[in-house]
Amino acid sequence: MLHVRGLEAWYGESHVLHGVNLEVAEGEVVTLLGRNGAGKSTTIKAIMGVLDSRKGSIRFQGTETIALPPDRIARLGIAWCPEERGIFASLTVKENLLLPPVIAPGGVALDRIYALFPNLKERLSSQGTKLSGGEQQMLAIARIMRTGAKLLLLDEPTEGLAPVIIQQIGRTIRALKEAGLTVLLVEQNFRFAQRLADRHYVMEDGRIVDMIPAAGLEANMDRLHAYLGV
């Protein structure tokens, strides 16, 4: 579904991605692991098209997207939940939730979203940024579930959150997988990633340095610990 080949990216003069190669098949949950500053968020942003300067090849369902603007990429069926969550202060919770336009049929219905995140339903008319960190994260995920996007790019959705909320987000991602969606998940919380993912890519210094299938994880624990420095 997603084929990334030789992806390079820059912030101004600084060269951050040095030829990233990765693949995600339809219906998979794949994680991107790696230390802080390895280039995980940059990879996600490059796929979404929000970096000024990138090179290489990104094909999504057969379409080359490297030269497309982000709105066109989104309309192909890719949605992004950024690391900083990106909840809008000048919008209510409901406006935040309904902001991303539906781009294809098959998105998760609002009723189902409210069932998954009851807190949101109770606070629809609050200002978006008045929500707690956990609720903001739920809102950030919920709003891209509605759109019918087929590939979700989730950047550290559990960062800084309490265990109950992490569980809730885990259940949500599992539900998305069961619904046939494809997820590329950036995670620092390796325990969390372990329970959800089919495969793990490991990034270091702007390159993919390893790929470990879920089945091979136990056997490769030492290797992974060395990469992540835990």
**By CB under 5 A, residue 41 contacts Mg ion:** yes
Task: Find the binder of another protein among 18, 25, 64, 101 (CB under 8 A).
Answer: 101
**By CB under 6 A, residue 158 contacts ligand ADP:** no
Q: What is the rounded CA–CA span in Å between residue 153 and residue 144?
A: 10
Phi, psi of 173 (to 5 degrees): -65, -40
Q: Are 198 and 213 in contact (CB under 8 A)?
A: yes
Task: Give the nearest distance from C-beta 168 to another protein in angstroms.
Answer: 23
Task: Give the nearest distance from C-beta 116 to ligand ADP in angstroms.
Answer: 26
Q: How far is C-alpha 54 from the geometric centre of its chain's CA atoms? A: 19
**By CB under 8 A, residue 206 contacts another protein:** no
**By CB under 8 A, residue 107 contacts another protein:** no
Residue 14 touches which member of another protein, ligand ADP, Mg ion, none, C-beta under 5-8 Å by kind: ligand ADP
Q: Which residue has the tokens 């793990």?
A: 200
Q: Which is nearer to another protein, 94 or 223 (CB)?
A: 94
**By CB under 8 A, residue 70 contacts another protein:** yes
Residues 13-72 that bind ligand ADP (CB under 6 A): 14, 16, 34, 36-42
Contacts of 109 (CB under 8 A, 6+ apart): 146
Q: What is the rounded CA–CA span in Å between residue 13 and residue 174?
A: 39
Q: What share of residues in the chain are helix, strand, coil (percent, to 5)?
A: 40, 30, 35
Residue 174: which region, alpha, beta or left (left: phi > 0; alpha: psi -120 to 50)? alpha
Q: Which is nearer to another protein, 48 or 58 (CB)?
A: 48
Task: Give the nearest distance from C-beta 143 to another protein in angstroms.
Answer: 8
CA distances to 113, 115, 160 from 133, rounded to whole Å, are: 18, 19, 8
**Options 28-36, 71-79, 171-179, 215-223: segment touching another protein (CB under 8 A):** 71-79
**By CB under 8 A, residue 103 contacts another protein:** yes
Task: Please give, one letter per residue, the 3-state secondary structure of 166-204.
Answer: HHHHHHHHHHHHHCCCEEEEECCCHHHHHHHCCEEEEEE
**By CB under 8 A, residue 80 contacts another protein:** yes
Which residues here bind another protein, judged by CB under 8 A? 48-50, 69-71, 73-75, 79-80, 82, 86, 88-91, 95, 98-101, 103, 144, 147
Which residues here bind ligand ADP, judged by CB under 6 A? 11, 14, 16, 34, 36-42
